[in-house]
Amino acid sequence: MPLDATAVAALPKVLLHDHLDGGLRPATIVELADECGYRDLPESSPEALAAWFVSETPRSDLVRYLEGFKHTVGVMQTADALRRVARECAEDLSTDGIVYAEVRFAPELHIEQGLRLEQVLEAVLDGFSAGMAEAQAADRPIVVRVLCSAMRTAARSLEIAELAIRYRDQGVAGFDVAGAEAGYPPTQHLDAFHTVQRANFHSTLHAGEAFGLPSIWEALQWCNAERLGHGVRIIDDIAVKPDGETELGLLAGYVRDRRIPLELCPTSNVHTGVVRSVADHPIGLLRRLQFRVTVNTDNRLMSGVTLSSELARCSEAFGWDISDLRWLTINAMKSAFWPFDDRLALINSAIKPAYDAAA
Catalytic residue set: 209
Q: Tell me whether strands 262-264 and 293-295 are parallel, antiparallel or unpaired.
A: parallel
Distances (CA, A) of 175 to 48, 202, 284: 34, 6, 28
**Which of residues 53 and 355 has its CB atom nearest to Zn ion in the complex?**
53
Nearest residue (CB) to Zn ion, 108 versus 298: 298
| Shortest separation between residue 198's beta carbon and Zn ion, angstroms | 25
Residue 154 beta carbon to Zn ion: minimum distance, rounded to whole angstroms: 16
Residues binding Zn ion: number (CB under 5 A): 1
Question: Strand runs (DSSP E) across 1-106, as ranges?
Answer: 13-19, 98-105
- Secondary structure letter of residue 199 according to DSSP: T
- List, as one string, the DSSP characters of 95-107: HTTEEEEEEEE-G
The answer to whether 219 and 196 are in contact (CB under 8 A) is no
Closest contact distance (angstroms) between CB of 249 and Zn ion is 25
DSSP 302-332: HHT--HHHHHHHHHHHH---HHHHHHHHHHH
Q: How far is the CB of 302 from Zn ion (least distance, A)?
A: 10
> Which lies closer to Zn ion via its Cβ, residue 68 or residue 324?
68
Yes or no: say if 83 and 40 are a contact pair by the CB < 8 Å rule: no
8 Å CB contact between 215 and 230: no
Distance in Å, CB of 296 to Zn ion, minimum: 8
Q: What is the DSSP letter of 181?
A: -
Q: With CB under 5 A as the contact rule, which of the stretches 86-94, 155-163, 290-298, 311-319 interacts with Zn ion? A: 290-298
Question: Hey, which residues between 294 and 323 contact Zn ion (CB under 5 A)?
Answer: 298
- Smallest distance from Zn ion to CB 340, Å: 26
Q: Which residues pair with 279 in a beta bridge?
A: none
**Cβ-based nearer residue to Zn ion, 78 or 303:** 303
* End-to-end Cα, the chain, rounded Å: 13
Segment near Zn ion (CB under 5 A); pick from 52-60, 65-73, 291-299, 339-347: 291-299
Interaction pattern, residues 245-284, with Zn ion; x per rule: CB under 5 A: ----------------------------------------
Identity of the residue, 206 or 292, whose beta carbon is nearer to Zn ion in the bound complex: 206
CA separation for the pair 61, 175 (Å, rounded): 25
Span near Zn ion by CB under 5 A; candidates 73-81, 145-153, 156-164, 293-301: 293-301
- 39 contacts 125 by C-beta, under 8 angstroms: no
Q: Which is nearer to Zn ion, 177 or 354 (by Cβ)? A: 177
Strands 172-178 and 204-207: unpaired
Closer Cβ to Zn ion, 3 or 264, answer by number: 264
User: Is 329:11 a contact under the CB 8 Å cutoff?
Assistant: yes
Shortest CB 229 distance to Zn ion, Å: 5
DSSP secondary structure letters along 268-308: HHHHTTSSS-GGG-THHHHHHTT--EEE--B-HHHHT--HH
User: Taking the alpha carbons of 323, 324, 329, 334 in that order, is the dihedral positive or negative?
Assistant: positive
Residue nearest to Zn ion (CB): 298
Residues that bind Zn ion (CB under 5 A): 298
